[in-house]
Amino acid sequence: MPDNQSAPSALDGLRVLDLGLLVQAPQAAQLLGDLGADVIKVELPGMGDQSRWIPVSPDDRRGAYFIGCNRGKRSITIDLRTDAGRDVFLRLADTADVIVSNFLPGTLDRWGLSYEAVSARNPRIVYACGSTFGPEGPDADRKGADLAGQAAGGLIRRTGPDNPTPVGVTIADHIGSQNMCNGVLAALLVRERTGRGQRVDVSLLGGQIFAQASEYTYTFLTGENPGDVDRGHPLLLMTYGIFATADGYIAIVGVQPPMRKAFFEAIERPELTTDPRFDAPLFTPEQKRAFFDTLEPTFRTRTTADWEQRLRAAGQRYAAVREYTEVAADPGVFENGYLQRVEGADGSSELVVGCPIRLSETPTSPGTTAPELGQHTEEILLEIGLEWPEIEDLRSQNAI
């Protein structure tokens, strides 16, 4: 990255209006903010984003979902359901480059804030909509959330051999946010060529299917579903999976045939190099099961750190299975900017998730704190030309 951290960011000068709830749209907007955009979060007065109401615990009212997906934004409260709120939002949209939302399809249309309505006033607007099942088809108007995306997209069937188990993070939302951000950036590039914005649609279901393109293709080619996860990936019939160690777990990320001898020597099982049961480049499912059964007692004899040292010296591909607290103790994630220490609103040092993208000439600039509900309402309304009497009138109508 350039040493000059005051260099302009990639999206300097662009304004994003974030109408999102929970994760899908808010995280996409946050990534656009990391890339330099001015992100204004539009929230319902008195309520705000639903993620504000998912506390860390009954005794700690801070919201990890809200803080994690909304740092660096400004918050304005507008009741989009009211005529006055709709009108003030349209004035704000006249100044914007991008709108992102993940309301149920048709909601913004009913409030008079459809893509057609906004683009008629601002033809350059990029209007991104996220949904659960997509904007078309028989399920378009069904409510849903991350778990629905994981389930409907087939991911949960791939996570364990017994009871279907969801991934322990909102992975459908996160993938949906990445797809939304990609769509917005593509639409902005097209706008540079044509002068016009466009509508962008992404969904949790579509993102989950795309994320499993290889596995779906296996089914299309064979007519069969992939097998169950059994300590590894059902389609990667090799030394690719998780082993328990003396104090934790380690992932062995595929041992290619030229590296097998060094691998077996590193784990002190050189006799397996010539074992005829395991000499094929790819195993059958039965061979893989037998191979893992053979190796499991060996990996339990040493700690994860011991295995990391031996496998690294042997040039193998591996990774310790880590908890978040262990990741946060890794200096490498800070050197790459994946986690960052920032100064909080009260001057204290806070740890935040950084931007996963590095740009050599236009550095990213992750925001620090998430806004209080409506913290910047008057500031933003004054920016778009409203006078104080107009602001007070909007407040008297409960429109802001």
How far is Cα 315 from Cα 328, in angstroms, rounded to an integer? 25
pLDDT given at position 349 = 83
Q: Both tokens of residue 132?
A: 């659960």
The answer to whether 172 touches 238, Cβ cutoff 8 Å, is no
The beta strand positions in 165-324, using DSSP E, are: 199-203, 240-244, 249-253, 318-320
CA 34 to chain centre: 13
Catalytic status, residue 279: no
Taking residue 312's Cβ as centre, other Cβ atoms within 10 Å add up to 12
pLDDT given at position 3 = 45
The answer to whether 76 touches 15, Cβ cutoff 8 Å, is no
- The CATH code for residues 15-211+357-396 is 3.40.50.10540
Using CA atoms, how far residue 246 sits from 230, 243, 304, 311, in Å, is 20, 10, 7, 16
pLDDT given at position 1 = 37
Q: Which residues, including other chains, have CB under 8 Å from residue 173's CB and lie 6 or more apart? A: 22, 23, 24, 27, 145, 146, 149, 204
Residue spans per domain, the chain: 15-211+357-396, 240-321
pLDDT given at position 6 = 67
pLDDT given at position 5 = 56
CATH topology for 240-321?
formyl-coa transferase, domain 3 (3.30.1540)
How far is Cα 277 from Cα 281, in angstroms, rounded to an integer? 11
As averages over each run of 10 residues, the pLDDT of the chain (400 residues) reads: 64 97 97 97 96 93 94 97 97 98 96 98 98 95 95 90 86 97 98 98 97 96 88 88 97 91 96 89 87 96 97 96 96 94 80 93 88 96 96 95
| Residue 244 bridge partners (DSSP) | 249
Catalytic residue among 60, 173, 293, 306: 173
3-state secondary structure of 147: helix
pLDDT given at position 161 = 66
96-119 pLDDT, tens digit each: 999 999 999 999 999 999 999 999
Q: Both tokens of residue 239?
A: 């030394």
Using CA atoms, how far residue 220 sits from 214, 224, 226, 232, in Å, is 10, 8, 11, 22
